Amino acid sequence: MKGEDKKKSQKKSDASEQDLATYDGCIYLSRICCQQYKFQEAMEYCEKAHECALKQDVTTLRTNKLADCFDQRGHINRMLGKYQKALEDYFESLRLHEVIYEKQSLAIIHCYNNIGSIYCLLGQYYEAMTYHEKALKNFQSSSSVNQSDYSFDMAKTCRALGFVYYHQGKNTDALLMHQQSSTLFKQVFGGENLYLASSCHHIGLIYQLHGTLNDAMAVQNKALNIDMAVVGKRNLIVAESYCYLAITYQLQAKYQQAEIMVNKAIDIQLEIVGNQHLDIAQSYHILGDIYASWGRYDQAHTLLHKALNLYITLLGKASYALAQCHNSIGWLNYLKGYYDVAIQLFYTSIQIQTEMSHGPCIHQKQYNFNIATVYRAQGKYDEAHQILQPYLDAKFTDENSIHVATLYDNIGLLYQSQDDYTKALSYYRKGLKLKLKLLDDNNLLVASSYNNIGLIYYLQGKHADALSIFHDCLKIRLELLGDENLNVADIYYNMALVYKLLHQYQDAMDMLQKAVKIRLALADEGAHDDVLAAMYNAIGLIYYLQDDYHDALEYYQKSMEIQLQDDNTVVELNINPGLKASLYNNMGLVYYKQLKYDDALLMYQKSMDTYSHCFGFNNLHIASIYNNIGLVYSSQLQHDNALDQFQASLKIRQEILDEQHLDIAQSYYNIGLAHYSLGHYNRAIAILGKSLTIRQHHFGHNHQQIAECYYSIGLTYRCTGQYDDAMMNLQNGLEIQINLKGKKDISLAPFYNSLALVHRLREDYANCITKYQQSLNLKLDKLDEINLDVADSYNNIGVAYLYQGRYDEAISMLEKCLNIQIRLFDDENHLEIADTYNNLATIYQLQERYEIAVVTYHKSLKIRLELVESNSICLLESYKNIASAYSQQNRYNEAQDMYQYAVDIQIHRCGENNVDCTELYDNIASMYQAQKRYDNALSMYDKSIQIQLQFVEKDHSKILESYKNMISIYKLKRNYQQAILLYDKYLNVLFDQYGKKHLKIADCYDSIGWLCYLMGRYDGAIVKYKIALEIRQSILQDLDHLEIAESYNNMGLVYKLQ
């Protein structure tokens, strides 16, 4: 019996030993499979090992082996990115180890470090720190074993703590931990070893986060040299070192060097493990990211999808690497302008990561930051805020982390995009303060903050502050990156923007040329470079501002070519639509200046279509384009259409901006000018006053835009006949302009012109010509004589001579004007030439040279008919002038036709009951009267009167004149009764104007008395004459006055007949 028990015991022992051997083999194979990234097989071997461990009879052995199984399973889940499951495995391992080991044992320390590493990956840094510090404390308190036996594991603990500090942004502490780990690795393995190289790479990551990329490069090169010394040049570890270096080169924007490093890694990897290996996938991934940053989007697309397919093949559809690859492809689509696709991919990354980690994870922060970036680009600011705001919660993110500084920068950029510069500046300053606390002053991340703050100063109009802080940024970048670096080019570009606003165009051009030279030197054939396109756009704008429209268009077109991909046929890419829209707008501005209005409108429409497609219609870009289209319509004299565009622009701006914003002031200014052009003068003055108030709020008194407002208000007062107010405003504007520009600047010329016109309207022709001459002298001093502005001055002086009756001198000036215009324009089809012909014709008419006047008027009309709308006000002027000349030639039918054309235009513009029609009706009536077509004449005069009587503010003189004309016709027709009835109406108008006692009323009663006399109604005649006599006696002091004598004489004639 004992023998049988012994045999059974032996068999059981043999089985246990066999299970133990199987266990050891399965654990070994599981680890090998992990190294080969065969995680499913690794998990299967781990489960077999777990089954073997459960069969062990010895409790301590079974517990130890089970704990090791949970460790291995935790490692597998960690590599798969299944952090929550890994955490559960590590806690179970800890529970089992605590049953059989003391707290100071290496097994327990390993468990603490494993748990801490998972908490770090989950972004739970406090918990991570707690467990790593437990491990470190156990090392320090252990006395059971010689401390040197713990050096290797202690080194790994220090390295793990370094990781946590790194993610918290506590870079000094992180460096200290990694340096301690390096020292310990040296103690264990000697001077050069792979663990030391690994620590060097981790230190390099900290330097990357610091922004001290030269330091990162140095320590990573050190790691590479160690790796090559230990394992040789053709080894996967060396390939990994090349990838570390490539990432640093990428951060330095040295993409060619980065590409070389990754290709070296790929060459080694292909030789050793072939093309179906995780290391190859990771290298493709890194190179794809480099190409995306480089602008080589097609190559980036190819490599990132290669990496994606390998990740899926090797790791399945749920892994950290796969989530990161979706993130990279999403970023590539963002760069290409495919925003919806980008967001979908970022959310895919989050979904994968969430499924693996079962909760928030450090990697999700970057994915969410990227989503917020895309929302910002789409103008979906509320959605972007909803993404970023939770990360300000210090419970989730260490408030002293460099990641928080990055968060502040992202929120600042979001507010900047919303034009909320105060909040943007506040967050940028928070980010800078934290960076200065965590990093050295001489740091690329600090330089980035300087750049951001400089851009806000630029947008706020604080130009000196912007330049100062841009110089601080430039100094750091030049020292750390050298003078041939894309980040240096970017700061040159930003400085150019400020110089442009300061009108220091040569300085701006110098900065842009430096920036372009750097980008071209570093450019790669086939790479898409949006920034270079933006720089060409900026150079074009500098040329535009200097009136060099040919070169401006050349650079705009260069910029546009970068936005196009040439593949046999030109296909437009959906990349940087904002820049493309801006280019269309800028080209429209050039065409507008070149008077190519149709081309300008086409470009503006393309710009609007692009902006609206990306951002919708309710944004400031659309408001700006509405404004620009309005300016084109104004130049085409389509002032109603212009007003519609300006009001559309204002509506958008009022919905987005504060009422005191300068863009609102610009809209008011342009709307005011449109009302001025439409003759709505009181409305124009009120709206221009709003613009002036806002601008004074921003600029005070002494500013160009204030002078501009005074000038326009002065012009409007001039049109209302309020000449004192006109002079005051124009003089205010002139004084500001002299303070800003000096007494010899050409910008004073328009002020002198307008002051001259007010003097002319006051019939002060001497001062008028003096002012016009001052304007002309300024122009001749600065411009060639063959110049349209000079021609304009000759025209103005000619018109002043015209009003003085100095017709020959007027013709001489106008002919000078006409000769310049014809020389400068390719043909005569220009409105300026039409205006000059019109002025010459007016003089010929005044000289009674009617034939040449009519011919010249028709030249003007022909040009205007080809260039303006059929109901334009300048056509109305032409028809009236030609009609007047025809009437003076007694060509009444032709005159009547011209007046009728004028009436049709006036009715179309302002409706039938418009006071401006009355003059035309009176003129037509006079034509009928001259032809003795009295009934037609009476009908026209009556039309005129009926319209005038509808207005509260009546022009009594015009009404009286119309009544007088009708009365004269009735007298000619001997219809005295009707004439008397009209005199009664005439009297009522006089009563309204003068009251009951006025000499004009006495004259009217005399006229009625005379008609009564002619009709034989002598009693009636006596009554009217007596009323006239009483009025005169009450007004005239001298009773022997001739008019009183005339009254007595009239009464005497009637008494004689009676």
Over 993-1020, what HEC string results? Answer: HHCCCCHHHHHHHHHHHHHHHHHCCHHH
Rounded Cα distance, 465 and 455, in Å: 10
Helix, strand or coil for residue 1038?
A: coil
Mean pLDDT of the 920-947 span: 89
Name the burial class of residue 378, with classes exposed (0-12), middle (13-18) and buried (19+) by CB atoms within 10 angstroms of its CB: middle
What is the per-residue pLDDT for 573?
Answer: 39
Q: How far apart are CA 565 and CA 298, in angstroms?
A: 11
With a CB cutoff of 8 Å and minimum separation 6, the contacts of 906 are 876, 914, 916, 917, 920
Three-class secondary structure of residue 565 per DSSP: strand
SS3 category, 305: helix
**Predicted pLDDT at 568:** 33
Please give the average per-residue pLDDT across 764-781, as a whole number. 92
Best CA proximity match to 46, nearest among 15, 16, 18, 67? 67
Distance CA 131, CA 91 (A): 11
Which residues, at least 6 apart from 81, have a Cβ–Cβ distance to it below 8 Å? 318, 319, 320, 321, 323, 352, 353, 356, 357
User: Would you state the pLDDT for residue 4?
Assistant: 56
Inter-residue contact 46 to 76 (CB < 8 Å): yes
757, two tokens:
């016109």
Interatomic CA distance for residues 474 and 488, integer angstroms: 7
What secondary structure does DSSP assign to 908-942, as a single string?
A: HHH-SS-HHHHHHHHHHHHHHHHTT-HHHHHHHHH
DSSP symbol at 253: T
Which amino acid type is present at position 292?
A
Cα 330 to Cα 348: distance, rounded to the nearest angstrom: 9
Residues contacting residue 40 through CB under 8 Å, at least 6 positions apart? 316
pLDDT, average across residues 120-142: 80
Counts of helices then strands in the chain (DSSP H, E): 49, 2
**pLDDT band at residue 860 using 50, 70 and 90 as cut-offs:** very high
pLDDT in tens, 355-382: 765 555 566 788 889 999 998 888 788 8
Q: What is the pLDDT of residue 481?
A: 83
For helices 505-522 and 486-501, what crossing angle results, to 10°?
160
Instruction: Confirm if 510 and 503 have CB atoms less than 8 A apart.
Output: no
For 332-363, give the secondary structure using H, E and C: HHHHCCCHHHHHHHHHHHHHHHHHHHCCCCHH
Q: Provide the angle, in degrees to the nearest 10, between the axes of the packed helices 788-804 and 831-846.
A: 20
What is the C-alpha to C-alpha distance for residues 684 and 665, in angstroms, rounded to an integer? Answer: 13
Q: Centre a 10 Å sphere on the Cβ of residue 778 and count the other Cβ atoms it contains.
A: 20
Percentage of residues of the chain with pLDDT beyond 90: 47
Residue type, 767: N
Residue count of the chain: 1058
Name the residue among 420, 450, 407, 416 with its Cα closest to residue 432.
Answer: 450
Q: How far apart (Å, rounded) are the C-alpha atoms in residues 193 and 156?
A: 14
CA distance 834 to 827: 12
The stretch 102-122 carries a mean pLDDT of 85
Structure tokens at 45: 């071997």
Query: Is the per-residue pLDDT at 475 higher than 70?
Result: yes
The three-state secondary structure class of 680 is coil
Longest CA–CA span in the chain (Å) reads 181
The answer to whether the CB of 424 falls within 8 A of the CB of 415 is yes
**For 425-449, how does the pLDDT look when each residue is reduced to its tens digit (9 = 90+)?**
999 999 999 888 877 788 888 999 9
Are the C-beta atoms of residues 45 and 33 closer than 8 Å to each other?
Answer: yes
Q: Give the model's pLDDT for residue 566.
A: 38
Under 8 Å between Cβ of 896 and 933: no
pLDDT tens-digit series, residues 1003-1017:
999 989 899 988 989
Report residue 571's pLDDT band, with 50, 70 and 90 as the boundaries: very low
pLDDT at 570: 33
550: pLDDT strictly greater than 80: yes
Q: Is pLDDT above 80 for 1019?
A: yes
Pairing of strands 569-572, 564-567: antiparallel
Which percentage of the chain shows pLDDT scores above 70?
93
Q: What is the pLDDT of residue 954?
A: 59
Spell out the residues 6+ positions from residue 590 whose beta carbon is closer than 8 angstroms to its own: 544, 549, 552, 553, 556
How much is the pLDDT for 10?
52
**pLDDT of 572 strictly over 50:** no
CB 75 within 8 A of CB 34: yes
In DSSP terms, 566 is beta-bridged to 570
Report angle CA 191, 31, 62 to the nearest 5 degrees: 110
| Mean pLDDT over the full length of the chain | 87
Q: Dihedrals φ, ψ of 564, to 5°?
A: -120, 145
| pLDDT value of residue 810 | 94
Transcribe 747-807 into DSSP letters. Answer: GGHHHHHHHHHHHHHTT-HHHHHHHHHHHHHHHHHHS-SSSHHHHHHHHHHHHHHHHHT-H
SS3 content of the chain, % helix, strand, coil (to 5): 80, 0, 15
Q: Does the structure show a pLDDT above 90 at 880?
A: yes
And the tokens for 240?
A: 């990994």
Helix (H, G, I), strand (E, B) or coil at 568: coil
From CA 470, how far away is CA 493, in angstroms rounded?
10
Quick one: pLDDT band at residue 681, thresholds 50, 70, 90?
Answer: very high
Q: Could you read off the pLDDT of 554-563 as tens digits, one per residue?
A: 999 998 888 7
HSE toward the beta carbon, residue 783, CA cutoff 13 A: 20
Q: Is the pLDDT assigned to residue 59 strictly greater than 70?
A: yes
Record the tokens describing residue 160, joined without a space: 């793990």
Is residue 206 within 8 Å of 182, Cβ to Cβ? no
pLDDT confidence bin for 567, thresholds 50/70/90 = very low
Buried b (16+ CB within 10 A) or exposed e, 873-897: bbbbbbbbbbbbbbbeeebbebbbb
Mean pLDDT to the nearest integer, 827-841: 91
CA-CA-CA-CA torsion sign (302, 307, 312, 317) = negative
Instruction: Give the per-residue pLDDT at 962.
Output: 85
User: Is the confidence at residue 682, as pLDDT, over 70?
Assistant: yes
Give me the residues paired with residue 571 across strands.
565
570's enclosing H/E stretch is strand 569-572
Residue 493 burial (C-beta neighbours within 10 Å; 0-12, 13-18, 19+): buried
Tens digits of residue pLDDT in 574-612: 445 677 888 899 999 999 999 999 999 999 999 999 888
User: Contact at 8 Å (CB) between 915 and 947?
Assistant: yes
| pLDDT score recorded for residue 569 | 32
How far, in Å, CA of 119 to CA of 973, rounded? 112
Q: What is the pLDDT of residue 358?
A: 55
Q: Please name the residues in contact with 192: beta carbons below 8 A apart, sequence gap of 6 or more.
A: 226, 229, 230
Quick check: 840 pLDDT over 90?
yes
- What gap in Å lies between CA 375 and CA 372, rounded to an integer? 5
